[in-house]
Structure 1
Amino acid sequence: MKTFSKRALLRASAAPAILGASLIATAAFAQEAPQGAEAEATDTIVVTGSLIKNPNLERSTPVTATSADQIELKQNNTAEDILREIPGIVPSIGSAVNNGNGGASFVDLRGLGSNRNIVLLDGDRLVPAELNGRFDLNNIPVALIERVETLTGGASTTYGADAISGVVNFITKSDFSGLEGTISNQLTEQGDGNYFRADVTMGANFDDGKGNAVFSIGYQQSDPVYQGDRSFSIFNVDSYSGAIGGSGTATPSRFTGTNPSGTATGNGTRQVTADGSAFRPTTAFDAFNFNPYNVFQTPFERFNMFGAARYEISDAVEAYTRGIFSKNTVKTIIAPSGIFGAAVDIPLSNPYMTAAQRNAFCQRNVATPTQIAAGVYTPLYTQAECDAAAVATDPNDPNYREVTTAMSRRATELGPRISEFTTTFFDYKLGFRGGITDTISWDVSGAYGESEQAQTQKGYWLTSRVRQALQATSTTDCLDTSNGCVPLNAFGPDGSITPEMNAFLNANSQVVTKTSLAQANATVSGDFGWAVPFASDAVAFAIGGEYRKYAASQESDLLSQSGDLGGAGGAAPNISGGYDVYEAFGELIVPLVQDKPFFQDLTLETGIRYSSYSVDAPSSPSYKTTTWKAGGSWTPVDGFKIRGNYAHAVRAPNIAELFAPVSTALTNLGTDPCSGSAPLNDANLAAVCIAQGAPASTIGAITNDPAGQVNYTGGGNLDLKPEKSNSWTIGAVFQPSGLRGFSATVDYFNIKIKDAITSPTPGDAVAACFDNITASSATDSACTSIRRNPLTGELFGESLTTPGLSLVTSNLGKLSTDGVDFTLNYQTDVGFAKLALSLLGTWTNSNKFQATSASYNRECVGFYSVNCASIQPEWQFSQRSTLSFEKFDISLLWRYIDSVKYEPKQLADDLAAAEVAGCSNPTTTDEDGCMVDPEFRKIKAEHYFDLTGRFHVSDEITITLTAQNLFDNKPKVVGNTIGSTSYNSGNVYPSTYDALGRRYAIAAKFRF
């Protein structure tokens, strides 16, 4: 039986709990003791808190480790940067996401969703940043990170709900003593994107080693990189036509229901001419190029503090504490606001309307669609009525007339929309631990954290004030003068809107998001003091209980709640909710056979957790769940181990999924089946479009949004139940004694989730209605749940009147993924230097999502589209080669991303739509804009290289120089409308492929 002193027990219990370690010590599998270990002679265990170079070799469940040395060589500034280099992690919301960034950065393990994994600090949960329960990576104190351990698979038994796809554990430096300061700066070769960082850490041991305290303070600041400053993103490229495109909300203004020619078929949406004198004779318009306003790197500023301390009150009791504070500001910058297809009523006596423009409104043909097709022309107003209305300024005048039209106008004179997210975060923990016997320890702790984010939106027009300002019959007064209204000149050229007009139209708004997490945990762990027959190590265990209370709210001002902000993507409703969870858990590690022929070690690991959830809601929904795991490892001979693990995990619905009210926001869609001439050739299709709210007069003239965006309606659901997951891994570890310094691992993973809490993709919602149109489709709920713009028939427009696609949250989804992780490591002395080689890679076989049993089972590995939002390649690896001399290190990092292509299912849908629409060449090589341009349907494999030189000037000073993206690789242009706005931006995928270009970083570290 292994025994260890009470002080060793204190050290072991101080170690962060990581999945696979099972909250208890496991036997080491290594050729030599880890360097820096200071355990006593009787302490032969290896725990997560020791300086393990590669924990992947010590566990039955595979763990990927990124060391502080790797972080220093890469010169990562944030936790997001660190994780971005790890294969198997799919890009999530971060600094490269501008339109769709909520002021935080998240991690997405295996592409199963950033809400299905947990981020830990030293094995502890921290307060989430928002209502989806996700932790903001911006709050991690990078300066104190010793290593980052990433584990894939169901970890709910050890950590509770949310750990369906795994955990990411940031482990801080323990027992830090001394003073360390780091200052670094990074700049692109273009001279922009400056990133400054400074950290100071100080720590000391005291009272003869009984206590230790450490404190770190840091500051970071980054500048934006504008898309207009890169050659491949200056102009917006349409993914379908390949032409320079942009938004239909442009400048000068566009209006529906105009007819400049005064003919039967002359109705349409027309843009004001460049000089502001009339409407263009055709529906062609100058699309607004929004790219130059957007950014590839969001501006960021952070101030953070971290402190930790421990003290051995006696030989049997140690007190410990940890506190973390962060205040950070993220800014997103997008193109100017405006009015985006909202319905407005305009007097024909508006002082800014020219005679030609007035006539175009009066000449609108109001005959029936059948009459129009027959060439019948009936103007809205006769010329005499129109002329009389031009001078009728009093609404009580019998000649007074108004026209209703959907207006689109970009507020270029106002400048960009800026959302400033300021987050204040703290999380504090206090605990006590000690030994019960020489082999059993206890640990009791409590923690509390809060996060508050204030989002201030600037540069937005208010749609209600645009409507009010258009209701004017003179240049000085609106019809409603109650709030200082200034009449709006929406009929002039670009630049016609004055500062006084903008001052009336513009107002800031604010949304405040608050979250809190209270935790209490008690654990008893160790071994029973006895071993099973054929084994020498004792059976080890952990039992305990845990309590967590979550609360969150979103508090919006009246403007944000109203949906009145032009181009804000919909209303931000007030949300409030919370829940409690009580849990009990137990885990065992049972060495079955040891030190026998062909059974150097055979160990079984098991665990179970029971959870009881109570939701704070009038209906008081509650859930009771049980999760469990079973795993083991077999070491037949020195240097070879087989390991495997099976886990049944659950994820309870989070606060947003439960409590968010139903509201309308923006999503992406490539092709609207009702657009173009298709409905004119198919009576059933036309009937469906009309049943969805399209006016009969718009059939044949409905357009796709040039920006590739449509409205959708969705929200929370208090009837949701926990989703369930089964996952398993099996793999092997190689560390042959004959090849000193070499190790390799290979592990297969398989994760399946049923009853998944999901919403349909845009493609799913469209397919459910339009894949098989029949005469009865016009009454099918899959079709009638889609609601169109009541003026234009389009799926985009004002959120208050255009619900768009119905993307309802339910438990009807299924997700699954599987693949193989592999690592290779080799270290040797080559005489003149030490050589270290490492390879970390992932082959992802599949990642499928099915929204409902009737939906398409969508494969997204290796594909991109509006349905496969963030890119997940089939093959991906990072390989580092380092030569270490006495005073100098040189290191090369090679990152490989496999080729990907346009989603085949979406391509097939494009082809079907092209054929129905009667496109001239509806094939896979279509070139008339009916299908995605063939040039944009594939992104070739990418190789990135980062070169680092590190100079050890003295024992106290180290200088590090890094050239990132050494060969200045440019991202592949695929256009701006092929995928999700969040990840497909600036014509490229900047979260996956480097859009900043070659950049240089320098850092100086001082140690005393």
Structure 2
Amino acid sequence: MKLKKLAHLIALIGVAAPAFAQSSADQPEGPIQRVEITGSSIKRVAKEGALPVQVISFDQLQKQGITSAEQLMRVISANGTGADNPTSGNNVFGPDADRVSGGASFASFRGLGPNSTLVLINGRRAPTHGKSGKAVDLNSIPMAAIQRIEILKDGASAIYGTDAIGGVMNIILKSNYQGLEATGSTNVTEAGGGNIHRASLLAGKGDLETDGYNIMGTFSFTKNEELDSRQRSFANGFQPSRGLSPDTTGTPFANQLTGAGSALGTGFTMPGDTNKYLQAGLLSLQGKCDTYPGMSQYQSDLWKDVTSPLRSKYSCAYDYGADYVMQSPSKQGNFLVRGTYKLAPDHKVFAEAIGSKSDVTSILTPAQISTSFANGNAYPVGGPYYQDLSALIPTFDKTKPILYKWRANPVGNRTQDNTTQSGRLLIGAEGTIKNWDYRVGLSRAVSTTKMDLLDGYAYTKALYSVLGSGIVNPWALPGQGQTQAAMDAINKTKYIGSFQTGRTTLDQVDGNISGQIFDLPAGPLAMAAGFDLRRESYMYHQDVAAEDILLAPGNANLNQSYRYVRAVYTEFIAPVTKDLELQLAVRHDEYSVIGGTTNPKIAFRYQPAPWLLFRGSANKGFLAPSFTQLYTGALSQELSNGVVDTVGCAQHPGDARFCAPEKFGYMSGGNPNLRPETSKQGTLGVVVEPFKGFSASLDYWAINMKDRILNRSPSIVLANPVALAGNIIRNPDGTIAYVQAGWINVAGAKTRGADLGLRGDGKFAGGYKWNATLDGTWTQSYKFAEIGNYEEYVGKFFTRDLYLRWKHSATFSVSRGDWSVLLSNTFASGYKDQLPNGGKGTPPAGFNPDVASYTTFGLSTTYTGLKNTTVTFGIQNLFDRNPPFTAHNVDDVVGAGWDPRVADPRGRAFTLNVNYKFF
């Protein structure tokens, strides 16, 4: 008996799991077909394996109106609630901000980061994102070609690779298709903006079993339209009564700064007030900040800092969070071509090509500029727009230049065009020789991302020179604008053109054999052995120097770097008794850069009764540092928002050099001394089927990680001035010269939780059939150590990820004849909100410290009564639920009054999907 026939005992943990996934689709009859789609049959107990697997079918995706990777990840409860979607990634400035991801969407199971989630296509690795290089961009997957998605919620798979610490996402594509069909879908929001349209074509000829061959191909095209924050009323960063207001004085109508030799000097006083103030705005002094759209009076009480209470009292603030783009305009094209030939009854060869092209326009708010004498961009005395505040500030010296902070709207929105082309060519063979199954493959995968700058970026020195000439008016009111001469001068400083390119490659040879060795008293002992040889490479270069362009995103150049990974593994499936079996596995990976690691795995499956199953596993994981983390060169950058030197300001209270610095430079880059991340994890679960038509599974999981690799932001360095004192480089006078940021190994993470799965089906009177599902994740604990001791983060605001107590997705469908109706639900629990100024500010009376939970419903109906046609109409976010309010400011995490890590900003949307089969 072949090992495949044991699949109902081991599901995806079997030694030939990738082969199972494909063979089940190739064979329409027999027990194997029911086994692989573990979530589609109510008779789950006899089919469940030792590890928890969630299966999402293509039919489920269509009926729920899911047309993008971002929407897909929202319905996977095991996925983290982090900044790994295009909306957050486009704007987030947090510790692990990936400023070169270019609208990519990543999986991050258990909230452990994209690097810790292994994404596979038909059981084999896919290329990582060309420019980011950290993980597979899910936008590169041809969604129209998906047959199902299998979520392995236990990490460190001994088959796929020990770097799968958070879990495995195995995307199974269609195969052995015959016919021709076209599909068109549209997803239109009720409030406008953010519409999504998709069209696809699927064709195939030849039946593998009867004709001995099959050739199939699919092509799809998706267009995402832009959605701006101004199109949604909840994107409002000025709600001071609720504890939210902007913390930026870089306004379109500039605020003046203090500084030695400037008109305001090193500080100013007001009549009858002995306090010394550090910033001033004309509109603020006149009580007219709201003259300019998006501007408001700076809320000093909310943003009060004990070391600098007088910094911005007389300044205006700007709600630049309401200028963010919630959904970037994008276009994606994907294709799959696959040919399979049957050499003999038990042998077949195949060739497969997958390709994609994604074009995403990332739009950021205009640059914020703080002028200084060192940069030569102070506003000169005698300039045509010189702003004299002497009537309001007696100490104002109008014989001296003006320093100011300004949101440079005339320069334009910082606009990037990111084009990613990815592809994989695979040839392989599968078959059976004397009851031993074999599988072998040779593949090459490439992903290339190019970024062009379209607007909003200027050469720093050239722009500063224009500002220093006085031709530009930083105090232009709405309707005034700039003179043509000023705009011509600004436009000449801009850089528009090719900016940076990244490229990853993956060459892989893999194979395995599986079969039975001999019979034990309780049944046959099955084993498998396999190998995985890979050559990975990464290249990143700037087409122009990023340091010369103001606030240009990017990393330093990294020449083509290679590493080799050689892995061997073996597994045994041993029946101990009639009801108990064990899986024993071990894998050795040898990295040419890091060294070798051996990681074992043990799992069990115990079924004492037909309606009851116990299962569990224990394993180790190993995650090597990425090319970017190791080798990226040093890059000099400047913080976009002023920050306080906590130590210096405490020693020099009121001194603007420490308490209100004009700018902060920092260095970022790779760290060749990084150690690999390691993990120990396990699961323990139970599955019950108390009666026909219902089953439930509950799996408890735990993961301990050491030496986590995180990008240390300048703000984190400054927030830890003692532990990271060596990363704060000071001038002889004590002021900060620059901050050394970059990649480090931190203490680690510990997380615990449980996954709940419910399945039910049955019949109503009158021939109606019903089906219900629920997949939920309860996170008991997530403890993380950034620098010092472990701290609990479940249910608390955090800038990197939100670790919510409970998340679930559920469906309930009813069908009869040509009609079916599906009701879907997603839920994310609430959490403790961020307090103003990191808890240093004073919340207003009645401040609600809790962010509400977020739940949405969807409703769709499908009709198949038309010849060769299937029509699905649906409503997403049925009750038009707005994202829950949060008082966090937009810095570190995008979202003025809402959080894109939790909620979908599109609101109620209507979906229409039409599929027509020509033959």
Paired residues for 1:191-270 under 5 Å:
191-206=192-207, 208-237=210-239, 241-243=243-245, 246-252=248-254, 254-257=256-259, 258-259=262-263, 265=269, 270=279
Q: Is residue 822 from structure 1 mapped to residue 756 from structure 2 by the alignment?
A: yes
1:466 partnered with 2:466: no
| Match for residue 536 of structure 2 among 546, 550, 553 | 550
2:825 pairs with one of 891, 894, 902:
894
Q: CA deviation at 1:168?
A: 0.5
Determine the structure 2 residue equivalent to 1:303. 333
Residues 666, 638 of structure 1: alpha-carbon distance in 2 compared, 3 angstrom cutoff: farther
Which residue matches 1:997?
A: 907
Corresponding residue of 2:160:
159
Distance of 1:104 and 1:465 partners within structure 2: 32
Alignment of 1:906-921 (within 5 A): 910=838, 913=840
In the alignment, does 2:493 pair up with 1:505?
A: yes
Q: Residues 149 and 172 of structure 2 are in contact (CA less than 8 Å); yes or no, is this contact kept in structure 1?
A: yes
Give the letter for the 1:462 counterpart: Y
**Residues of 1 paired with 2:870 and 2:380: CA distance?**
74
Give 1:686's aligned residue: 651
Judged with a 3 Å threshold, the aligned counterparts in structure 2 of structure 1 residues 471 and 252 are, in CA distance, closer, same or farther, namely: closer
Question: Distance in 1 between the 2:357 and 2:560 partners?
Answer: 23
Q: Which stretch shows the higher mean deviation, 317-326 or 348-357?
A: 348-357
Distance 2:324 2:682 in 1: 42
- Cα displacement (A) at 1:227: 0.4
The residue correspondences of 1:758-777 to structure 2 (distance < 5 A) are 758-759=710-711, 765-766=717-718, 768-769=720-721
Contact 2:26 2:176 in 1 (8 A): no
Distance 1:935 1:843 in 2: 28
Counterpart of 1:152, as a letter, is K
Q: Tell me which residue corresponds to 2:575.
A: 591
Alignment of 1:527-538 (within 5 A): 527-528=516-517, 530-533=518-521, 535-536=522-523, 538=524
C-alpha distance 263-271 of structure 1, shift in aligned 2 (>3 A): closer
What amino acid is aligned across from residue 728 of structure 1 in structure 2?
Answer: G
Q: 817-826 vs 666-675, which deviates more? A: 666-675
Q: How many angstroms does 1:539 deviate by? A: 1.4
Give the conservation status (yes or no) of the 8 Å contact 2:246–2:318: no
**Are the aligned partners of 2:255 and 2:316 in contact in 1 as well (CA < 8 Å)?**
no
> Do the aligned partners of 1:635 and 1:642 also contact (CA within 8 Å) in 2?
yes
Change (3 A) 1:122 1:261: closer
Give the deviation of 1:885 after TM superposition.
1.2
Identity value in percent: 24
Partner of 1:420: 417
Q: Please list, as runs of the form range in 1=range in 2, the aligned pairs for 1:683-762 lying within 5 A after superposition.
A: 685-686=650-651, 697-698=655-656, 701-702=659-660, 713-736=667-690, 739-759=691-711
> In the alignment, is the contact (CA less than 8 A) between 2:2 and 2:437 conserved in 1?
no
| TM-score after normalising by structure 2 | 0.85
Residue equivalent to 1:112: 112
Task: Check the 8 A contact 1:89/1:107 in 2, yes or no.
Answer: yes
| Structural mapping, 1:323-472, within 5 Å | 323-337=353-367, 339-341=369-371, 343-345=374-376, 352=383, 357=388, 386=399, 407-437=404-434, 439-457=435-453, 458-472=455-469
3-state SS of 2:577 partner: strand
1:746 partner letter: L
Distance (whole Å) between structure 2 residues aligned to residue 294 and residue 791 of structure 1 = 39
CA distance in 2, matches of 1:901, 1:305: 44
Q: Match for 1:184: what amino acid?
A: S
- Give, in whole Å, the separation in 1 of the partners of 2:643 and 2:56: 43
Offset of residue 250 of structure 1: 3.4
Matched, 1:68 2:76: no
Q: Which has the larger radius of gyration?
A: 1
Q: CA deviation at 1:786?
A: 2.9
> Secondary structure, in 3 states, of the residue corresponding to 2:895?
coil
Cα distance in 2 between the residues matched to 1:197 and 1:791: 60
C-alpha separation in 2, matches of 1:76 and 1:45: 25
Aligned length: 864
**Shift of the alpha carbon at 1:121?**
0.9
Q: Matched residues in 2 for 1:823 and 1:263: separation?
A: 62
SS in 2 for 1:96: helix
The aligned amino acid for 1:828 is G
Alignment match of 2:861 (pick from 946, 949, 953): 949
Kindly state the Cα deviation for residue 60 of structure 1 after the two structures are TM-superposed.
0.5
Residue identity in the other structure for 1:298: S
2:481 alignment partner in structure 1: 495
652-661 or 91-100, larger mean C-alpha shift: 91-100
Name the CA distance, whole Å, in 1 between partners of 2:750 and 2:463. 48
Cα pair 1:649 1:726 within 8 Å, conserved:
yes
Q: Which runs of 5+ in 1 are unaligned?
A: 29-33, 366-378, 387-401, 476-486, 595-600, 616-621, 680-684, 690-695, 770-779, 794-800, 915-921, 928-932
Shift of residue 492 of structure 1? 5.7
- Residue number in structure 1 paired with 2:778: 843
Cα 1:977–1:542 change in 2 (3 A) is same
Match of 1:31 in 2: none
Q: Give, in whole Å, the separation in 2 of the partners of 1:990 and 1:142.
A: 23
Tell me whether 810-819 or 257-266 shows the greater mean CA deviation. Answer: 257-266
- Structure 1 residue 240: deviation in Å? 8.9
**Residue type of the alignment partner of 1:541:** M
8 Å contact kept, 2:700–2:755: yes
Larger relative contact order (C-alpha < 8 A, sep ≥ 6)? 2
Distance 2:849 2:573 in 1: 50
Asked whether the 8 Å contact 1:78–1:140 carries over to 2, the reply is no
Q: Which 5+ residue runs of structure 2 have no aligned equivalent?
A: 93-100, 271-275, 290-310
* Contact 2:37 2:55 survives alignment (8 Å): no
Kindly indicate whether residue 602 of structure 2 is the aligned counterpart of residue 611 of structure 1: no
Over residues 726-778 of structure 1, what are the superposed CA-to-partner deviations in whole Å (9 max), with x where a residue is unaligned?
11001111124xx2221111100111111222345778645533xxxxxxxxx
Partners of 2:361 and 2:416 within 8 A in 1: yes
* Counterpart-to-counterpart distance in 2, 1:322 and 1:539: 34
1:863–1:902 contact (8 Å) kept in structure 2: yes
The answer as to 2:291 corresponding to 1:291 is no
The alpha-carbon distance between structure 1 residues 781 and 363, as it changes in their structure 2 partners (threshold 3 A), is farther
CA distance in 1, matches of 2:182, 2:154: 37
Tell me how far apart the structure 1 counterparts of residues 685 and 640 of structure 2 sit (CA, whole Å).
40
Is contact 1:339–1:461 with CA below 8 Å preserved after alignment?
A: no
Contact kept in structure 2, 1:668 and 1:762, CA below 8 Å? no
- Give 1:290 deviation, angstroms: 2.0
Whole-angstrom distance in 1 between the partners of 2:258 and 2:554: 22
Rounded Cα–Cα distance in structure 2 between residues aligned with 1:749 and 1:551 = 34
Q: Which amino acid aligns with 1:782?
A: L
Per the alignment, residue 727 of structure 2 pairs with 785
Secondary structure of 2:508's counterpart equals: strand
- CA-atom RMSD, angstroms? 4.0
Q: CA deviation at 1:59?
A: 1.2
**How far apart, in 1, do the equivalents of 2:763 and 2:243 lie?**
57
State the shift of 1:317 in Å. Answer: 3.0
1:927-966 aligned at under 5 Å gives the runs 927=844, 935=847, 937-954=849-866, 956-966=868-878
CA distance in 2, matches of 1:298, 1:347: 35
User: Is contact 1:420-1:455 (8 Å) kept?
Assistant: yes
C-alpha offsets along residues 301-320 of structure 1, whole Å, 9 cap, x if unaligned?
A: 01111111211122343111
Contact 1:103 1:330 in 2 (8 A): yes
CA distance in 2, matches of 1:842, 1:71: 20
SS of residue matched to 1:649: strand
With normalisation by structure 1, the TM-score equals: 0.78
Contact 2:321 2:890 in 1 (8 A): no
| CA distance in 2 between partners of 1:421 and 1:121 (Å) | 24
Correspondence for 1:968 among 876, 880, 895:
880
CA distance in 2, matches of 1:320, 1:138: 25
Show the counterpart of 2:561: 577
Whichever structure has more strand as a proportion of its residues is 2
Deviation at 1:159, TM superposition (A): 1.6
Give me the whole-angstrom Cα distance separating, in 2, the residues matched to 1:513 and 1:762.
25
1:645-692 CA distance string (max 9 Å, x none):
1111111111111112233568899985739xx95xxxxx316x9xxx
CA shift at 1:446, angstroms?
0.7
Q: Structure 1, residues 913-966: CA drift from partner, whole Å, max 9, x if none?
A: 46xxxxxxx6xxx43xxxxx8636311222211111111123511111111111
Cα displacement string for residues 798-825 of structure 1 (whole angstroms, at most 9, x for unaligned residues): xxx9634x54433342111111101111
